[in-house]
């Protein structure tokens, strides 16, 4: 399968000052060597706890941030080497849906203006044509023409996410990055929005990078899932394989945290000790070792590398 | 202004009350030539019996040392005070907004230079700067007052807008627009600026109030507009000599200043409530 998006050894360090006065400079290693590829029409799930670098990865892929190191290729185009004109073309092909349905829509613009903004920027339609296209997009996401003149505050969270999706689809993207698109929604609404994502993928042949911290959501929608911890991918496998056979102790702990619907089922909940370490002072060796229940000799000195332990199943752990 | 006034709750009590007060003083200023019972600069031929009269039937606010009718002088003073307050704000706002937008959006050294300049002007005592500038400009008068106030009053708007832009820059709806491929101009003028308009408008009402006070301060020090023009500040300056013996000379212009400033503040508060889109039902 020809990959649509290839991310190679992507790094983003944010400089911070340590100390009050003459602070030495330090780096927050938000993303520290992330590599993955997404095939055309595929959905890659990206999970991890808050602050592990998921959203930064998303913003880097879209070049909303400039990376410290690494490469992103969209099709054959190297994203970080694209000039202004190429970048402008690329922006049409990669779009994003944000997490917060409240801050992701301009409160001072009507739905028609919000959804039509991409059409105007890329000179795709104007006047009546724009109105019709916006109506079409709204219908595609389950809203209607009658919503065009309204303002974001008149909508519910789920409806606002639909508006955000329509805005992203307006320019006809191939890749849609969904940055925790349902985390802020009620569970009942989550299912509807996820179904919408699936319908749209079928209709439009979209490719998804689907970010979430909820494993159930990701499992449902993803073909493959990557698990991130402290700026790195620790495990990457086909969705079913990852859930049936999690290898990394961190993945195992995450999976054990999913609530079970059947109260009779007994399960072993793995409680991780402590908090994730600060990305300013990354632990030596394996980044997970201070919290890992299975740590052994080399873990605190030697960093494991992401290896393919069975076909398509990659893990970064000394146990394998 | 798209969407600025859309939705309900357009009229809050603050807006009604503030507008009413300001309408009153605005009409006073506009119609001062018609309303004033006397020529505000007319000095009676015989001062005895006309000088420093307390408020009474034919002189509601009393008269000053030269026997001039204080009511007429307060009415005429409204023209200069309001004119200075509003003109300065209209000049200062675009300057401050531009500086704030650039500093906030471009950040880095642009932000450093612009904001350190702003800090420097802010940190310097405004009145001292105004006195120094007036000295440089030699001829105190209406124009010099406007120039001097403009020089010191742009800073707060610049800071306000920069702060707004900094927080907006992190907002996801701006990131979404960048991801859509919008250029700098479009981001700044179509997305950042409209989202700053409400706080700017509110700040303008408070700004006019401060300008009126600042003009009064300059007038009080004798650095403001010069006779025969009158402003509320210069009336205060004339009256302060007799503050204990003939208090009405200060009380009436003082009341005019207080009420006008209050009017602008009440209006500003009302606007702030109404312009917040989250409060619209």
Minimal CA separation from A59 to chain B, in Å: 9
d(CA B70, CA B55): 9
- For the domain made up of A3-250, the CATH class stated in words is alpha beta
| pLDDT range class, residue B3, cuts 50, 70, 90 | very low
CA A77 – CA A94 distance, rounded (Å): 12
Q: What is the mean pLDDT of the segment spanning B229-255?
A: 86
pLDDT at A220 over 90: no
Instruction: Band the pLDDT of B135: cuts 50, 70, 90.
Output: confident
B163: left (phi over 0), alpha (psi -120 to 50) or beta: alpha
pLDDT at residue B52 above 60? Answer: yes
pLDDT digits (tens, 9 = 90+) for A187-212: 889 999 999 999 999 999 999 999 98
Asked if residue B2 has pLDDT above 50, the reply is no
Residue A222 CA to residue B51 CA, distance in Å, equals 91
Which pLDDT band holds residue B279 (cuts at 50, 70, 90)?
low
The distance of A180 to chain B (nearest Cα, Å) reads 13
Q: Name the more confident of A6 and B127.
A: A6
Contact criterion met (CB < 8 Å) for A121 and B195: no
Residues 6+ apart with CB under 8 A from B157: B92, B93, B95, B96, B97, B100, B200, B203, B207
Domain ranges of chain A: 3-250
Say how far apart CA B98 and CA B147 lie, in whole Å.
Answer: 18
Residue A301, classified by CB atoms within 10 Å of its CB into exposed (0-12), middle (13-18) or buried (19+), is exposed
Subunit contact B181:A108, Cβ cutoff 8 A: no
pLDDT for res B66 = 80
| Selected residue with higher pLDDT from B244 and A143 | A143
A2 vs A177, residue with greater confidence: A177
pLDDT of residue A234: 94
Query: pLDDT confidence of B41, banded at 50, 70, 90?
Result: confident
Q: Inform me whether the C-beta atom of residue B6 falls under 8 Å from chain A C-beta atoms.
A: yes
Q: How many residues does chain A have?
A: 320
Q: Which residues from A are below 8 Å from B195, CB to CB?
A: 106-108
Q: Is residue B41 a contact partner of residue B74, using CB atoms and an 8 Å limit?
A: no
User: What domains can you pick out in chain B, each with its CATH number?
Assistant: 14-35+62-279 (1.10.3720.10)
| pLDDT (0 to 100) of residue B53 | 77
Nearest Cβ partner for B179 among A64, A106, A107: A64
Which residue, A121, A171, A97, A165, is CA-closest to B182? A121
- Report the residue of chain B nearest A105, measured CA to CA: B173
Q: What backbone phi and psi angles, to 5 degrees, belong to A35?
A: -135, 135
Show contacts of B251-254: CB within 8 Å, 24+ apart: B252/B61, B252/B62, B252/B70, B252/B71, B252/B74, B253/B74, B253/B77
Map tokens 């592990």 to a residue. A52
Q: How confident is the model at residue B6 (pLDDT cuts 50, 70, 90)?
A: very low
Give the model confidence (pLDDT) of A73-132 as tens digits. Answer: 999 899 999 999 999 999 999 999 999 888 899 988 999 999 999 999 999 988 899 999
> Residue B70's pLDDT is what?
85
Partner A contacted by B279 (CB < 8 A): no
Tell whether the model's pLDDT for residue A21 goes beyond 70: no
Token readout for A154 is: 């008149």
Within 8 A of B191 by CB-CB distance, chain A residues are: 106
Window from A299-308, B94-103, B128-137 with minimum mean pLDDT: B128-137
Residues of B in contact with A173 (CB under 8 A): none
- Residue B181 in contact with partner chain A when CB distance is under 8 A: yes
Q: Is the pLDDT of residue A225 over 90?
A: yes
Each residue's pLDDT tens digit, A299-314: 888 889 999 999 999 9
How far the first Cα of chain B sits from its last, in Å, is: 19
pTM > 0.95: no
On whether any CB of chain A is under 8 Å from the CB of B280, the answer is yes
Residue B201 contacts A, CB cutoff 8 Å: no
Q: What is the mean pLDDT of residues B118-132?
A: 85
Weakest-pLDDT range from A296-310, B6-20, B262-276: B6-20
Of the pLDDT bands very low, low, confident and very high (cuts 50, 70, 90), residue B1 is: very low
Q: How far is A122 from chain B (nearest CA, A)?
A: 8
| Cβ distance of A91 and B179 shorter than 8 Å | yes
Across chain B, mean pLDDT equals 85
The interface predicted TM-score (ipTM) is 0.88
CB-neighbour burial class of residue B44 (10 A; exposed 0-12, middle 13-18, buried 19+) = middle
Nearest to A108 among B3, B176, B186 (CB): B3
Q: What is the pLDDT of residue B281?
A: 45
């Amino acid at each position: 399968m020809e990959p649509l998006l290839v991310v190679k050894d992507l790094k983003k360090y944010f400089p911070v000052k340590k100390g009050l006065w003459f602070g030495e400079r330090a780096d927050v290693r938000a993303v520290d060597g992330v590599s993955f590829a997404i095939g055309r029409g595929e959905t890659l799930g990206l999970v991890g706890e808050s602050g592990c670098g998921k959203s930064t990865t998303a913003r880097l892929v879209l070049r909303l941030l400039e990376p410290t190191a690494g490469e992103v290729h969209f099709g054959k185009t190297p994203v970080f080497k694209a000039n202004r004109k190429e970048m402008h073309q690329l922006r049409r092909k990669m779009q994003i849906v944000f997490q917060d349905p409240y801050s992701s829509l301009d409160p001072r613009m009507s739905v028609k203006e919000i959804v039509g903004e991409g059409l105007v920027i890329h000179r795709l339609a104007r006047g009546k044509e724009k109105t019709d296209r916006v109506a079409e997009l709204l219908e595609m996401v389950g809203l209607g023409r009658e919503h065009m003149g309204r303002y974001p505050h008149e909508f519910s969270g789920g409806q606002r996410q639909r508006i955000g999706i329509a805005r992203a689809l307006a320019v006809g993207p191939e890749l849609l990055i969904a940055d925790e698109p349902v985390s802020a929604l009620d569970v009942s609404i989550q299912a509807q929005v996820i179904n919408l994502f699936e319908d749209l993928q079928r209709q439009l042949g979209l490719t998804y990078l689907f970010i979430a911290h909820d494993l159930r959501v990701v499992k449902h929608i993803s073909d493959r899932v990557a698990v991130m911890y402290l700026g790195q991918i620790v495990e990457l496998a086909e969705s079913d394989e990852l859930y049936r056979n999690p290898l990394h102790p961190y993945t195992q702990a995450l999976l054990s945290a999913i609530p079970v619907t059947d109260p009779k089922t007994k399960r072993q909940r793995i409680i991780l000790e402590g908090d994730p370490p600060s990305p300013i002072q990354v632990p030596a060796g394996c980044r997970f070792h201070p919290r890992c229940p299975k740590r052994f000799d080399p873990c605190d000195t030697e960093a494991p590398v992401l290896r393919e332990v069975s076909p398509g199943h990659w893990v970064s752990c000394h146990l394998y | 202004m798209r969407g600025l006034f859309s939705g309900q709750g357009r009229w809050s009590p603050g807006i009604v009350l503030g507008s009413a007060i300001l309408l009153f003083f605005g009409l006073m200023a506009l119609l001062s030539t018609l309303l004033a019972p006397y020529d505000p600069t007319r000095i009676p031929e015989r001062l005895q019996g006309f000088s420093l009269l307390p408020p009474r039937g034919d002189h509601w606010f009393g008269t000053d040392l030269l026997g001039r009718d204080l009511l007429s002088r307060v009415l005429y003073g409204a023209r200069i005070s309001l004119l200075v307050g509003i003109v300065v704000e209209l000049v200062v706002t675009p300057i401050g907004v531009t500086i704030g937008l650039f500093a906030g959006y471009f950040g880095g050294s642009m932000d450093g230079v612009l904001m350190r300049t702003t800090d420097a002007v802010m940190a310097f005592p405004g009145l001292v700067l105004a006195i120094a500038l007036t000295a440089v400009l030699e001829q105190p008068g209406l124009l010099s007052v406007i120039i001097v106030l403009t020089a010191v009053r742009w800073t707060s708007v610049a800071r306000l807008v920069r702060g707004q832009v900094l927080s907006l820059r992190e907002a996801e709806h701006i990131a979404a627009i960048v991801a859509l491929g919008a250029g700098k101009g479009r981001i700044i003028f179509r997305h950042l600026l409209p989202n700053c308009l409400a706080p700017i408008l509110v700040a303008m009402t408070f700004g006019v109030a401060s300008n009126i006070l600042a003009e009064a301060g300059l007038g009080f020090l004798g650095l403001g507009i010069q006779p025969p023009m009158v402003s509320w500040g210069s009336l205060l300056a004339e009256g302060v000599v007799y503050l204990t013996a003939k208090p009405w000379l200060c009380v009436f212009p003082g009341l005019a200043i207080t009420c006008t400033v209050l009017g602008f503040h009440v209006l500003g508060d009302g606007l702030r409530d109404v312009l917040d889109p989250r409060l619209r039902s």
